A and B are shown apart, each in its own frame.
Chain A
Amino acid sequence: MLLAVDHIDVFYGSARVLSEVSLQARQGEVVFIVGRNGAGKTTMLKTIAGFLHPGRGAITFAGQDITGLTPDKVARLGIRYVFQDKRVFTKLTVKENIELAAYAAGVKLSEALERMLQIYPKISRFLDSTAGGLSGGQRQLLLIGRAMVGSPRLLLIDEPTEGLAAGTIEEVLKVLELMRGEVTMVIVEQNLSVVSRLADRIYCMKEGHIPAALSEPADIQNQSYLETYL
């Protein structure tokens, strides 16, 4: 097991937003978390990434207890977080955005650019442009590509297709399919066609709990069942 979240409770002040939540991801798996707004999906990712710390329970990554580690330490273990809001460093150029990731991952800029271009070749036209000028889809692909610099082991992606046009969603999906097997992914998503197409395992969240976990192909394709959680 690469990632094991074991019965964690997470609080915002005195309010418990995650309660007794457990989640697992095997090496190379694509795991989805689905649920309504406010169900605790993003909180779950932020807790794994070290931005929030559980009040109870434990998070283990590759056999190491990462509960309570700060985000930079979690990132250095090979866990990358792609935020929901597609916010790149808008005032830096695309190349500088990649450079920051390259140095953090301990790889050369040339290698990082090569990796980026494998994932998203079209970005080559914008390398010297400020990232603030990119469209939502381009930003998302830059963020995913940037997260893949230095061969991470686990990618946490928050709503990768939210607010994107159909054509761009397809582009993002192709990139995610390209990365399948190479990196373990835990993805928060509400678009069920995306979930059914990529998922190896699905966790359904509701009001800070996980009442259902699906791993059988028939269950994963059962969109009418999944819809009850949206």
Chain B
Amino acid sequence: MNLSLTLPEAFVALLRKFDVLVIIALFLLLTLLISMDRTIEFMIFCIFVLAYDVLYGYMGRLSFGHMLYLGTGAYAFALTGELISSNPFLALLVAVASGALLGLILGPIIVRTTGACFALINLAFNQLGFFLALVAFSKWTGGEDGMSVYVDKVWIFDFSRKTTVFCFALLSLIVVIFLMRRLTNSLFGLLLRGIKENETRVQFLGYDTFAVKMVAFIISTSLSAFAGALFILNYSYVTTSFIDPLRSVEVIFASLIGGAGSVYGALAGGVSYKLISNYLPNYVQRWEMFLGVILLLLVFKFRAGVWGYITAWYQRLEATPAGKSGQPPEVGR
């Protein structure tokens, strides 16, 4: 038996069939290897990467200002908790609705654009949002100091306990993965991929691509806002770092590292980026430089990202006779 072939095959088959269980197991394992606190952060960040991937990976629109939507969710959650109700679920709902509303308002301006224009308009709005949170609305947001957030215990959900936050974040991630898979495997996903490749051709088939792009944009902003709210649920405070446009680079890095346009790629990218940014500073003083080198390598050499290369490697494996039959290749003929 050729173990080098059958083990990866077995792993991929297992992943395909029980992927949700495998993902749960991996995150549980991560709590043992690092810490529960960090694992929660990783999972929420993965939700943000998945949200970003709807636009970048599937629709081919690179945004330099996605922290705006994450920050909107974060502040909406915090302000709801502060001013309206301490019910965390109501605050989460308001956060997602705020993300959707912002998408609905900005979408008609943003989704008409492509390329650099799309990226920079998002950045411009992000900068505007950052200024509003930092200065104009500092009376409510606490400006640079930020604000603390307290939420009530609702039924069994006591979010002051890390295990509750962990379970809720994990459940949220699984639900988002499920939704993303349904979305991307549907006709809507096909349309997004079509728009990524050639929007005009999709129009000529009879589709209103503006409507499709608007829906994708609102899904992305809502999910980003949800991730922002979860971050605040975890940290119990919000500062302007949650809406800082400079931090948009994190989600871009994660998408590139993992491989855009794939649910597994977003997860691999989210976890990889967080591992690098959390642990590399322990060993390398100017770790951002290392990240820059990684970006250069990704852009010039490994554009498919981690998951893209795993997929390509597996496809090659499947294409070989041994890969198909599970038998070792014949030698000496």
Contact with B along A64-78 (1 / 0, CB 8 A): 000000111001100
Q: Does B112 contact A (CB under 8 A)?
A: no
Q: Does B193 contact A (CB under 8 A)?
A: yes
Give A71 to B208 CA distance when docked, in angstroms. 9
- Whether B206 pairs with A72 at a CB distance below 8 angstroms is yes
Residues in chain B near residue A99, CB distance under 8 A: 187, 190
Binding site for B on A (CB under 8 A): 49, 51, 70-72, 75-76, 80-81, 83, 87, 89-92, 96, 99-101, 103-105
Give A87 to B191 CA distance when docked, in angstroms. 16
Residues in chain A near residue B235, CB distance under 8 A: none
Q: Does B140 contact A (CB under 8 A)?
A: no
Of B75-83, B90-98, B99-107, B194-202, which binds chain A? Answer: B194-202
Given A96-B190, A100-B190, A103-B187: A87 touches B198 (CB 8 Å cut-off): yes
* Partner among B194, B196, B200, B208 whose Cβ is within 8 Å of the Cβ of A100: B194
User: What are the 3 tightest A-B residue pairs by CB atom distance, in nearest-first order?
Assistant: A75-B206, A104-B206, A71-B203
Give A104 to B191 CA distance when docked, in angstroms. 10
Residues in chain A near residue B202, CB distance under 8 A: 100
Give A100 to B195 CA distance when docked, in angstroms. 11
Contact with A along B122-133 (1 / 0, CB 8 A): 000000000000
Give A99 to B185 CA distance when docked, in angstroms. 12
Q: Does B86 contact A (CB under 8 A)?
A: no
Binding site for A on B (CB under 8 A): 187, 190-191, 193-194, 196-198, 200-209
- Tell me the dominant secondary structure on chain B's binding face: helix
Chain A residue, CB-CB nearest to B261:
A91
- Whether A92 pairs with B205 at a CB distance below 8 angstroms is no
17 CB contacts below 8 A, A to B, read: A71-B203, A72-B204, A72-B205, A75-B203, A75-B204, A87-B201, A89-B193, A89-B197, A90-B197, A92-B197, A96-B190, A99-B187, A100-B187, A100-B191, A100-B205, A104-B207, A105-B206
Give A51 to B205 CA distance when docked, in angstroms. 12
Give A219 to B255 CA distance when docked, in angstroms. 61
- Whether A71 pairs with B204 at a CB distance below 8 angstroms is yes
Residues in chain A near residue B194, CB distance under 8 A: 89, 92, 100
Minimum CB–CB distance from A46 to chain B (whole Å) comes to 10
Chain B residue, CB-CB nearest to A99:
B190
Residues in chain A near residue B190, CB distance under 8 A: 92, 96, 99-100
Give A49 to B198 CA distance when docked, in angstroms. 16
Give A81 to B204 CA distance when docked, in angstroms. 7
Give A104 to B205 CA distance when docked, in angstroms. 6
Minimum CB–CB distance from B101 to chain A (whole Å) comes to 27
Give A92 to B195 CA distance when docked, in angstroms. 11
Minimum CB–CB distance from A147 to chain B (whole Å) comes to 9
Given A87-B198, A89-B198, A91-B193: A49 touches B187 (CB 8 Å cut-off): no
Give A71 to B194 CA distance when docked, in angstroms. 16
- Whether A83 pairs with B206 at a CB distance below 8 angstroms is no
Minimum CB–CB distance from B18 to chain A (whole Å) comes to 24
* Partner among B191, B197, B200 whose Cβ is within 8 Å of the Cβ of A51: B200
